[in-house]
Structure 1
Amino acid sequence: MRRLYRRAAETPGAGPDATDDGPVATVASTARTDTASRLHAFNRFEIKYLVPQTQADEIRAELGRHMDEDAYSGASGYPITSLYYDTRGLRFYWEKIEGLRFRRKLRVRHYGTADDLTADSTVFVEIKQRVNRVTQKRRVCLPYRDALRLCSPQGYAPVGGTSSRERAFLDEVATLVGELELRPTVTTAYHREAWVGREADLGLRITLDSRLRGRDRDFHLSSESLNRLTLPPGLSILEVKADERVPAWVTDAAARMDLDLVRISKYCQSVQAFGLAPRSLMHVPDGVDDLLRPAPDEALGRLHVTPARPTTPTGVDDAPTRQGAPTR
């Protein structure tokens, strides 16, 4: 696993150096990008810590003293599954590894369990990018079928009224997919617990992600194929997301618990776990191909996907979560 460690006490304190309306470079036109950057945009300053499972309860107690549980999280959290797109040469992966000041990722994200997902379920198509020290996320919600079409060569034509900002974002995604020839590369999945700040920390959000896993084939997000662990099961990732500065109590607590500040990407962890440089030659067709075909007049309903054999005999997820968590 490729990581850069720093001690918790060295957490940088500077906030974002860009605004919601600031220009960002993309392959789309400047005017179109300026418009799209205001559509469901989140600009945040993020830091991450590596958390041993033995310290998870201590961290939950500390966060509970200063923050409230996220409305979607509750006491048990919820599962997240994402499908990441990249070029044949893994351009987005290498932009992260090389630490480029401007870099991005394209993904389709589902909040909830695999059992919840149908062709008509709401998912998010997201462009997550880094501009200097600021993390920017722009996204649009679409039915799962339409989200996959948007990120495929066949494209997606919205039906009905669409705002100019939404259409600009859809055009930007289509341009990225077409000009860079993006393709599904890996999935990531994990269980998330989330807290939100109160009072003076209203812009603060902290998440604890555990049981990180993924796969490099069977890209349908409701596939029952086994996932491979991409981080040892005894480790979780604590993400601190702030509009400006990270509160002192957060860095003090991290230093007291001797947590490691890390540069880690869940997407990169999946790429590295499967040795996708070069990419696996064992890819097999999956349910996504069926989903991208023209839909019949009646609703598709539940999609049945034939599980493929696990990628490896070891390192697979041994306790998949497939029910009982909320969606959003």
Structure 2
Amino acid sequence: MWSTYYDTRDLRFYWEKIEGLKFRRKLRLRHYGDRFSVGDDSTVHVEIKQRVNRVTQKRRVALPYHLARDLCDKRVMPDHEPGQRAFLEEVLELVSLLDLRPVAMTGYQREAYVGSGADEGIRVTVDSRIRGRDRDFHFAAETENRLVVPAEFAVVEFKADERVPYWLTDLAARMSMSIVRVSKYCQSVEAYGHAPRSIFHIPDTEFSEA
């Protein structure tokens, strides 16, 4: 899974995350699968991830890669389905008013587990080999990436439509897991020296080409 994150020149979205604002947004292009196979007609997702108080929301549309880049990089409204227009207009307004530009790319391997029955709506993801770069933002670019989270760490997330069940929080406690604020985008920004290391940055015990 690979994502290109957009931000302002002064990293507004980065600082909103670090400061923990109750309402904040991020814009990204996301591709699921091998990035080296991505071409102009490959399907990617234009996605706005936003947080309102303690609720995280994701809204997105699927577009061919060249149309997604036209929208986010050239401010050109793409051909679209009727139901996509409102969202695409929101993205266009966001990139135009804030003069957004690609700032960082992240990639990682994800294992995802989905609950069923009484646990329907529960999702657990395990992300490992978290890499990033700060230039050459075409997904298929043959550019060196580096680990932005040390290789021995994985990011585990519990996600729920309502609330995380007690059995899952109890299991996490028995495994001595603790709640840590981790943003893969912020890790990439800080790993490449574009912002000071925050207190939420995972210590740099190993960085290597990936």
**Pairwise TM-score range, normalised by the shorter structure:** over 0.9
Question: Partner of 2:179: helix, strand, or coil?
Answer: strand
Which residues of 2 match residues 120-199 of structure 1 at below 5 A? 120-158=41-79, 162-163=81-82, 165-199=83-117
Tell me which of 177, 192, 195 is aligned to 1:259: 177
Aligned residues: 201
Residues 153 and 178 in structure 1, CA contact (< 8 A), matched pair in contact too: no
Residues 153 and 177 in structure 1, CA contact (< 8 A), matched pair in contact too: no
Question: Partner of 1:93: helix, strand, or coil?
Answer: helix
CA distance in 1, matches of 2:195, 2:15: 10
Instruction: Measure how far apart 1:153 and its partner are.
Output: 3.2
Tell me which of 145, 151, 174 is aligned to 1:227: 145
TM-score (norm 2): 0.92
Letter of the 1:156 partner, please give it: M
1:316 and 2:196 aligned: no
Residues 132 and 148 in structure 2, CA contact (< 8 A), matched pair in contact too: yes
Tell me which of 183, 186, 190 is aligned to 1:268: 186
Instruction: Measure how far apart 1:233 and its partner are.
Output: 0.4
Aligned-pair identity (%): 60
Instruction: Measure how far apart 1:223 and its partner are.
Output: 1.4
CA distance in 2, matches of 1:218, 1:102: 30
Instruction: Measure how far apart 1:198 and its partner are.
Output: 1.1
- Residue of structure 2 in register with 1:277 after alignment: 195
TM-score (norm 1): 0.60
- Residue of structure 1 in register with 2:38 after alignment: 117
Which residues of 2 match residues 1-328 of structure 1 at below 5 A? 80-158=1-79, 162-163=81-82, 165-277=83-195, 315-318=207-210
CA distance in 2, matches of 1:235, 1:111: 22
1:290-325, Cα deviation, whole Å (9 max, x unpaired):
xxxxxxxxxxxxxxxxxxxxxxxx82334xxxxxxx
Question: Partner of 1:207: helix, strand, or coil?
Answer: strand
CA distance in 2, matches of 1:209, 1:315: 17
Residues 36 and 141 in structure 2, CA contact (< 8 A), matched pair in contact too: no
Question: Partner of 1:264: helix, strand, or coil?
Answer: coil
- Residue of structure 1 in register with 2:200 after alignment: none
Instruction: Measure how far apart 1:226 and its partner are.
Output: 1.3
Instruction: Measure how far apart 1:152 and its partner are.
Output: 1.6
CA distance in 2, matches of 1:277, 1:238: 25
Letter of the 1:101 partner, please give it: K
Question: Partner of 2:118: helix, strand, or coil?
Answer: helix
Instruction: Measure how far apart 1:156 and its partner are.
Output: 2.7
1:240-285, Cα deviation, whole Å (9 max, x unpaired):
110001011111111000012111111100001011139xxxxxxx
Question: Partner of 2:69: helix, strand, or coil?
Answer: helix
CA distance in 1, matches of 2:33, 2:164: 29
Gaps of 5+ in 2: 197-205
Letter of the 2:167 partner, please give it: W
Structure showing greater Rg = 1
Residues 46 and 61 in structure 2, CA contact (< 8 A), matched pair in contact too: yes
Which contiguous aligned blocks of 4+ residues in structure 1 show a shift greater than 4 angstroms?
Answer: none
Question: Partner of 2:74: helix, strand, or coil?
Answer: coil
